[in-house]
Structure 1
């Protein structure tokens, strides 16, 4: 679907008073994901590298119709599940994965993606904000960069403020006694540059441990929000621009401002390197140890009416889109998981001597091409975001991105064969049936379910011959491979609110209570019960051992302690509806909703705390 001239004119006739957003302030709703890890990890990027392997590994969320080639703008509507909690969002969101390089052995290990949030910001504007259309593609960031931006470490998201700087890293810490970046860092010698307006963020990797509980090292990626309908939905190099003073150029379409938060489990490696030394051990999957090449991709798979209803009516904020009034289509079951296997059949986990795709670890201060492959690429100096995005094309292996292979037809030229063969193992098998771990379906069952298949193209054979004149001809043959995905449903009894007899002696369930962004249990915020281990029992035990009389669990995996509920009110039990990460038979609150336990039958409702802290940026703090 594309915008017509008449529809664009109608959009521009908007009155801001008709929507939840306005000309004076930002509203927003966070899109949460669920399940066991991201949708997929793999060297797949259908925007920049269609038809073949991407140059580096990505972490992908969203609809399971995601694949190597996605030329159909409606392709994501074929998804049979999505890792987005909102059912009618079958979009795909992806960023490069993060790696740790051992300072001694130089061996490489993938860093687990802790979790991802996608903010849908509805910025202050007199434009009408309009839903993304199916197949809308965006790319932001430059995978060739190894030098800091001329603007320094600050984030710039409006053209009136200068050249856009849409990517940063945020590093929550237990102690800020030392600066996040060396005060004399020029961003060219082992560590990035501090954001002058935010002590917890900057461009490039910092040389400090990001040890905030539930909020380790975070990649921040902002997308432009002005769409040029003359460029088209799939022209990711030129179709988007950042606004000027909050508004888009005449004739352009103002879309939501997407913001990715991607948290990586860097504390797992904290004991293996020394912070504060002007160097750090993390790098992106394209071989970038600087972090300047951070980038993000997006393909819209939204049901347009659902997203427009959210834009026009929802200011749920951190509580999430799942709390938006009148949400069309409903929510996915958070006890299930939507995952697909990597169609590039290669090893991308464990200790490795080289990054997948053979990306060398490049140095500081020298920009590269091919997403870290070591070749040269010209860089655009234009301040427009479209040109910033267009340089993303350098990250693909160009011959692979230009191929549109069809079944049983030859794809010639030596360069294309070399590009494909470098990333895809040779195989002579027919259709491959891939099953999500934990699924009980058999291969035979999957093979007979055409409604849940998605075609991709993979190299199956590469042959080299010599001609009489001495020239070498390399020919690769491709065939269509069917990849099938299933949704895994966790087994077990339905969650209960009390936790049964497992709750500590002398403690009882008090009820489901409203939490706030300031927090209503302030004794210990985000208690470190253990990643993925939170239950009501463990939370109560933790708080009791530290002398608190109240404990509360929230969002399936968070624990809070205190002696009073500051500024809270009782909610219906249906508001506490998320299974505990450590025991799916127990309910651990919901979005800004606490399952509260007390040592006795009474609770104190004190004055609400005025201290504001972001829900994901608090580490355990004991009063």
Structure 2
């Protein structure tokens, strides 16, 4: 039977609502492909038409550009959302690592992102976002903790909203996540009293829980004031009171961003539990209090309303909603665009993009407006009690955006047409003769040896999805955080089994794995060695094996396009034998059956571009 959009709506109209007055329901919106849609100094809400003050990581429809009309997102030709009819855009500031020894800055890869669509318990009717609906939450100027402390507050009946937190899952929780009795002003944030794994401001511990490095948690309000209008992001939203919105307001889904950053790769380069931490947001915020997020709606309204009314898929994902209008994108593809702001934002650098100065704990940036409420304006209604603007809470983005240190006229900008078209990600920007680009999108680092390979016509498609990386495992060398010095750098043994040889150290890409025959072979927790990995892969019928992060094993018969690195880049002792080296952060120690130097044994494949 052929179902049209109309028949789907009719079929579901008679079913009971997925949301109710007694409990929360929800569906997670997953993303797919090679990284986020784009990263760059773009923010069409705060800084329309010019380079924004800092770098953002952006997901969603490829019509995203420096300026956007209300219906522009609907014109996207692809979207990084797995749901085809969601062409909305979701973005947050990017994250950087400041090396404690050198002071240099390095980009931190986004591990993955989820956007939860919560349908909270309410007697209101929850309605879909209209195209062009703009929301901003969080205050990028904050460098001090909220007066409400470390807990999350999302209903006006409970007090001043506190919608921004950091979550840090850990394999070893013997020590507290934040310094005991931290005031949040001297190098680390404040613990959430109700959640040992979360708080406000950056923690001073490494986050290495199962598939869960450092995570930004950002909640949006769900009460829309139509009198303010879709574009008035400063005044059009507030949090509910006892689950309901003021009379005359529209109750929309409650959006919640989970943004995971690949911080464990830096764990060996800073000392945890000392009251300081090395990460900094792209807006120059070393505290984490200035975390914020933006949203522009680009939904097919009927599709989202169907989800609201009928789907309680939970963590399984919105892509599992029955009868989803428009269907899903092909997860073997990718939707990406190039940033129109041409500057270095990946790799190692001496200053943040846009020359943003790194601020200080407890000191607001010069000229920053006073913090205001996160909830936006509060209706003059008995259902929404007034909130004091004098309270130092995480607020909405200030009415005056951060001054851009680089004049817009001095920044080369691509044409609007170019910025709205899908572009080949730099991670796979190869030709039949060109060297392979670094996985970070920047030029290969000094000491790397690019591998030149032909791209096979109609080559291999990417078989994994962005959402699937919830299955990845992060491990540390020891629970104490101390790392035993390896006996050597690089691969410690060129031969780990008869007939097997080392190919060396290779770049891996979290969202486009280089070795895909068996991902995360089950050798045993903290038992991985090169020897065991090779034995496991050989028994499974594979001719190549690779280890990574000191405790992960992969098998394959060939490698995807990748970059060969200096052996020193593989520097993590194997968890099962500290005398062996098992790759490193996003780097693989690769072994192959047969002669190590032959092209035949390397079998590096091209990828479909």
Q: TM-score range by the shorter chain?
A: 0.5 to 0.7
The number of residue pairs the alignment matches comes to 447
Q: Which whole-Å CA distance do the structure 1 matches of 2:159 and 2:208 have between them?
A: 33
After superposition, what is the alpha-carbon deviation per residue over 1:416-435, rounded to whole angstroms, capped at 9, x for unaligned? x973246x1499x9997984
Q: Is the 8 A contact 2:331 2:463 kept in 1?
A: no
Structure 2 partner of 1:116: 113
Corresponding residue for residue 20 of structure 1: 18
Deviation at 1:56, TM superposition (A): 0.2
Residue of structure 2 equivalent to 1:502: none
**How far did 1:22 drift?**
0.6
SS in 1 for 2:82: coil
Please say if 1:102 is aligned against 2:99.
yes
- Any conservation in 2 of the 1:492–1:584 contact (CA below 8 Å)? no
Matched residue, 2:322: 325
Give me the whole-angstrom Cα distance separating, in 1, the residues matched to 2:236 and 2:416: 39
Matches within 5 A, 1:233-272: 233-272=230-269
Residue of 356, 371, 376 corresponding to 1:379: 371
Q: How do residues 205-284 of structure 1 correspond to structure 2 at under 5 angstroms?
A: 205-284=202-281
Q: How does 1:491-570 map to 2 (within 5 A)?
A: 491-492=459-460, 526=473, 531=510, 532=513, 535=516, 537-540=518-521, 542=523
> Which of 180, 185, 197 is residue 183 of structure 1 equivalent to?
180
SS in 1 for 2:257: strand
In 2, Cα distance between equivalents of 1:25 and 1:82: 31
Offset from partner CA, 1:395-450 (integer Å, 9 cap, x none): 343xx8xxxxxxxxxxxxxxxx973246x1499x99979842458999xxxxxxxx
Shift in Å at residue 129 of structure 1?
Answer: 0.6
Q: Does 1:394 align with 2:400?
A: yes
Q: Confirm or deny: 8 A CA contact 2:130 2:297 kept in the other structure.
A: yes
Give how far 1:39 is off.
0.3
Offset, 1:77:
1.1
Distance 2:557 2:320 in 1: 24
Question: SS at 2:27's partner residue?
Answer: strand
Secondary structure of the residue that 1:116 maps to in structure 2? strand
CA distance in 1, matches of 2:474, 2:418: 45
Distance 1:141 1:377, change over 3 A: same
- Residues 76-132 of structure 1 show CA distances to partners (whole Å, capped at 9, x for unaligned) of 111000000000000000000000001111111110000000000011111111000
Q: 2:291 aligns with which of 274, 290, 294?
A: 294
2:48 equivalent in structure 1:
50
Change (3 A) 1:232 1:526: same
The answer to whether the Cα contact below 8 Å between 1:94 and 1:298 also exists between their aligned partners in 2 is: yes
**Aligned residue among 119, 133, 136 for 2:133:** 136
Distance in 2 (CA, whole Å) between partners of 1:314 and 1:138 is 24
CA gap of 1:130–1:281, structure 2 versus 1, over 3 A, is same
Q: 1:146 — aligned with what? A: 143
3-state SS, counterpart of residue 77 of structure 1: helix
Q: 1:43 to 1:582 in 2, by over 3 A?
A: farther
> Quick one: structure 1 residues 194 and 430, their matched pair in 2 at CA, closer, same or farther if it must change by over 3 Å?
closer
Equivalent in the alignment of 2:407 = 419
User: Which residue of 1 is the match for residue 27 of structure 2?
Assistant: 29
- CA 367–527 in structure 1, closer or farther in 2 if over 3 Å, else same: closer
The Cα offsets for residues 351-392 of structure 1, whole Å up to 9 and x where unpaired, read as 111111111000010122xxxxx4332333687467865534
Aligned to 2:306: 309
Task: Determine the structure 1 residue equivalent to 2:152.
Answer: 155
Separation of aligned partners in 2, 1:178 and 1:110: 28
Q: 1:85 aligned to 2:82?
A: yes
Once residues 167 and 188 of structure 2 are traced to their aligned partners in structure 1, the CA distance between those partners, rounded to angstroms, is: 14
Change (3 A) 1:492 1:528: farther
TM-score, normalised with respect to structure 2: 0.67
Corresponding position of 2:580 = none
CA distance in 1, matches of 2:556, 2:32: 15
Residue 424 (structure 2) aligns with: 436
Unaligned runs of 5+ residues in structure 2 are: 1-12, 379-388, 433-456, 477-507, 541-553, 561-609
User: Matched residue of 1:311: which SS?
Assistant: helix
Q: CA RMSD in A?
A: 3.7
CA contact (8 A) 2:40 2:55 kept: yes
Report the CA distance shift for 1:200/1:382 in structure 2 as closer, same or farther (over 3 A). closer
Q: TM-score, normalised by structure 1?
A: 0.66
Mapped to 1, the partners of 2:555 and 2:135 lie a distance apart of 34
Match of 2:407, SS state, is: helix
Deviation at 1:17, TM superposition (A): 9.1
Distance in 1 (alpha carbons) for counterparts of 2:53 and 2:517 = 44
Question: For 1:381 and 1:286, how far apart are their aligned partners in 2?
Answer: 20
Residue 495 of structure 1 and its aligned partner are, at CA, apart by: 7.0
Match of 1:305, SS?
helix
Equivalence map 1:558-597=2 (5 Å): none
Q: Any conservation in 2 of the 1:163–1:384 contact (CA below 8 Å)?
A: no
Secondary structure (helix, strand or coil) at the match of 2:97 reads strand
The alpha carbon displacement at 1:18 in A equals 4.0
Q: 2:155·2:241 contact (CA, 8 Å) conserved in 1? A: yes
1:17-63 per-position Cα deviation (integer Å, ceiling 9, x unaligned)? 94111111111100000000100000000000001010000000000
What is the CA–CA distance in structure 2 between the aligned matches of 1:430 and 1:121, rounded to whole Å? 34
Secondary structure of the residue that 1:394 maps to in structure 2?
coil
Flag the 1:333–1:162 CA change in 2: closer, same or farther, 3 A: same
For residues 249-301 of structure 1, the C-alpha deviation after alignment (integer angstroms, 9 at most, x for no partner) is 00100000000000000011111100000000001000000000000000000
Aligned to 1:65: 63
Looking at secondary structure, tell me which structure has more strand per residue: 1
SS at the partner of 1:357? helix
**DSSP 3-state at the match of 1:22:** coil
Q: Is the 8 A contact 1:29 1:318 kept in 2?
A: yes
**Take 2:219 and 2:331, find their aligned partners in 1: how far apart are those partners?**
27
Give the drift of 1:347. 1.2
Instruction: Please state if 1:346 is matched with 2:314.
Output: no
For the pair 1:201 / 2:198, whether they are aligned, the reply is yes
Q: Equivalents in 1 of 2:370, 2:331: separation in Å?
A: 45
